[in-house]
Structure 1
Amino acid sequence: MIDFALPPRCPLCGVTVETDNRFCLSCWRQLDFLAKPWCVACGLPFPFDGPDNSLCGKCLAEPPMHDGVRAVVRYDDQSSLIAMRLKYGTRLGLARLIAEHLQKFVGECSDKAIIVPVPLHRSRLWRRGFNQSVLIGRELARCTGIRMDCNAIIRLKATPPLRGMSGKERRRTVDAAFALHSDARMTVAGKSVLLVDDVYTSGSTSNACARLLKRAGAEQVLVFCWARVISNFEND
C-alpha cells in the first residue's frame, strides 16, 4: 500500500521506477559514469587505454597528496542535481543512492580501512543542519561494514569560494582551514582511509585533508565522491 501511495521515483526526473534509489532508463543514459582507463592519481578519464599506473600531465608535474579519486560520474548539469538536492534540498535519502554506487570502489582498499568524511565548519553546519559528506559516509559504512570516524579532521575556518583563485592561493586557503584531531593518529595510522566528499572540484580540499591524514600515519588515502569536475583544459 505504501508503494502504491508513494511509489519509488527517479531521483532526477521523478517518474515512477521499480525500486528506491534507481534512475529511470532515460536519466541513466544521460549520466556520464566514469570508468578506467583513468589517471591513477586524480581519476581523470583517458581517451585511450594504457598502463594501470598512468598519470595525467598535471599529476606528473605535481603529484597529489592522496592516492586516487574514485568518482561515480562526471559533474555536469544532470549529475549536479543529485549533489544539490542532497546538500540544499534536504533530500537526505540521496546519500544512500551515492553510497550504493561508491561500494564498487571499496575492493581497492586494504582490509584495514576507515571512512573519514570531509568536515564542514560549524557555521555552515548550523545553517544547513547536517554535513552531506557525513551522511554519505554513514550510508557507505552501513553498506560495507567499514567503520567511520567523523572527528579525525577538524575544520577550523570557513573558507571563501575557491573559484578564481590561483593554485597557490587555493592551497594557502584550505591548508589553514583544517587540523588533525588529537586522537587522529590512533584512528588512522596504518589504515586505508576513504576520504568521502560529495564533489571533487580542484582537489585543493582533498589534498589538504590527505596531507593531514598522511601526517597522522595513514597508509593510503582514496577520495570517494559522487561526481568529479572535468574542465575543458583537462580534456585537452
Structure 2
Amino acid sequence: MRGFTTALLDLVYPPACMSCPRATATPHGLCADCWGRMGFITAPVCARLGTPFTVDLGPDLLSPEAIADPPAYARARAVARFADGPAQVLVHRLKYGDRPDYARVMGRWMAEAGSALLDDVDLVVPVPLHRSRLWRRRFNQAAELARAVALVRGLPLDLDGLTRVKPTRSQVGLSRTERADNIQGAFRVAPDAKGRFRSRRVLLVDDVLTTGATVNAVSRALLRDGAATVDVLVFARVVTTGWR
C-alpha cells in the first residue's frame, strides 16, 4: 500500500530537482544539469583548509593561507564551492526556505566528502544558533546536517553542549576582520557540559565556511574545554582561488 501511495503521489506530483524545477527520477536529487554544475571539491586540496589546488604536488601539502594564518581547527572539508549555483541554492533553501528535509541528502554528501575526518571522530557537534534566531527560524540547519552526518556512520551526536551566548548580527557582507570581531566571545560550553569534550575528537558541522571566523571561534571554545582535536565539515565553502 505504501508503495502504491508513493507511486500515485509521484504521478500527480513528479519528483523535482532540489535546485531547479526540472523533473528527476527520484525525490531529493539533482537533475543532470545541476549535478554537472555543483562545483564539487575533490583532491588535491590543502591538507588543513580543504581548499582545492589546481595541480597535485603531493600529499599533506598546505596552502599559503594555511601557513600564514593557521586556523584553530585541525582540518576542514567541504562538499562543494559555495559560489557555484546549485550548492548555493541548496544551502539557501535549507536555511531560509524551510526545507530541513534537504539536510538528509546534503548530510550524506558531507559524510562522503569528509570520510577521512569521520574515521577519527568521537563526537559530532553542530555550530549552535542563538535562541532568538532559533526561535525565528524554528530549526538549526547545522544541527540537521550534523544529525544526518552522524547517522551515516552511527556516531554520537551532541546538540546541547555548546551555546551561542551572543546574538551576533548576520555575517553576510562583513569583511574578514568584521566577521572575527562580530563573533568574538559568542560561543561557550554550556555550564552543565563543562568537561564533556575533554580528550574527545570532535567533528564540528556547519552549512557554509566563508572566512572561517565562526568555526574558529567555536573550535577555540571546544579546545578550551579540553577537546583533543577539532575538525570541521561543511556542505559548501567559499573558494577565492585555486592554489598552484
Partners of 1:42 and 1:183 lie apart in 2 by 32
Give the structure 2 partner of residue 189 of structure 1: 198
2:58 aligned partner, one-letter code: P
Give the structure 1 partner of residue 17 of structure 2: 10
Q: Is the CA contact 2:111–2:118 (under 8 Å) kept in the aligned structure 1? A: no
Which stretches in structure 2 are left out of the alignment for 5+ residues?
1-7
- Corresponding position: 1:143 with 2:152: yes
Partners of 1:166 and 1:21 lie apart in 2 by 34
Going from structure 1 to structure 2, the CA distance change for 1:54 and 1:183 (only over 3 Å counts) comes to: farther
Q: Is the CA contact 1:42–1:68 (under 8 Å) kept in the aligned structure 2? A: yes
- Corresponding position: 1:180 with 2:189: yes
Give the structure 1 partner of residue 164 of structure 2: 155
Going from structure 1 to structure 2, the CA distance change for 1:231 and 1:106 (only over 3 Å counts) comes to: same
Give the structure 2 partner of residue 78 of structure 1: 86
Partners of 1:109 and 1:6 lie apart in 2 by 37
Structure 2 length-normalised TM: 0.88
Going from structure 1 to structure 2, the CA distance change for 1:142 and 1:164 (only over 3 Å counts) comes to: closer
Of 64-73 and 142-151, the range deviating more from structure 2: 142-151
- 1:28 corresponds to which of 32, 35, 40: 35
Partners of 1:192 and 1:228 lie apart in 2 by 22
Partners of 2:77 and 2:27 lie apart in 1 by 23
Partners of 1:190 and 1:11 lie apart in 2 by 39
SS in 1 for 2:191: coil
Q: Deviations over 1:71-110 (max 9, x none)?
A: 1000123311101111111112111111010121234334
Give the structure 1 partner of residue 107 of structure 2: 99
Which residues in structure 2 correspond to 1:223-234 (within 5 Å)?
223-232=232-241
Give % identity: 36
- 1:90 corresponds to which of 80, 95, 98: 98
Offset at residue 235 of structure 1 (A): 5.8
Give the structure 2 partner of residue 123 of structure 1: 132
1:165 aligned partner, one-letter code: S
What is the CA RMSD across the aligned residues, in angstroms?
Answer: 2.0
After the TM superposition, list the runs of 4 or more consecutive aligned residues in structure 1 that deviate by more than 4 angstroms: none
Give the structure 1 partner of residue 50 of structure 2: 43
Structure 1 length-normalised TM: 0.91
Q: Deviations over 1:94-127 (max 9, x none)?
A: 1111101012123433455211000111111111
SS in 2 for 1:198: strand
Give the structure 1 partner of residue 69 of structure 2: 62
Aligned pairs, number: 234
Going from structure 1 to structure 2, the CA distance change for 1:135 and 1:166 (only over 3 Å counts) comes to: closer
Going from structure 1 to structure 2, the CA distance change for 1:154 and 1:231 (only over 3 Å counts) comes to: same
Partners of 1:125 and 1:165 lie apart in 2 by 24
Going from structure 1 to structure 2, the CA distance change for 1:182 and 1:82 (only over 3 Å counts) comes to: same
Offset at residue 2 of structure 1 (A): 2.9
SS in 2 for 1:78: helix
Of 101-110 and 174-183, the range deviating more from structure 2: 101-110
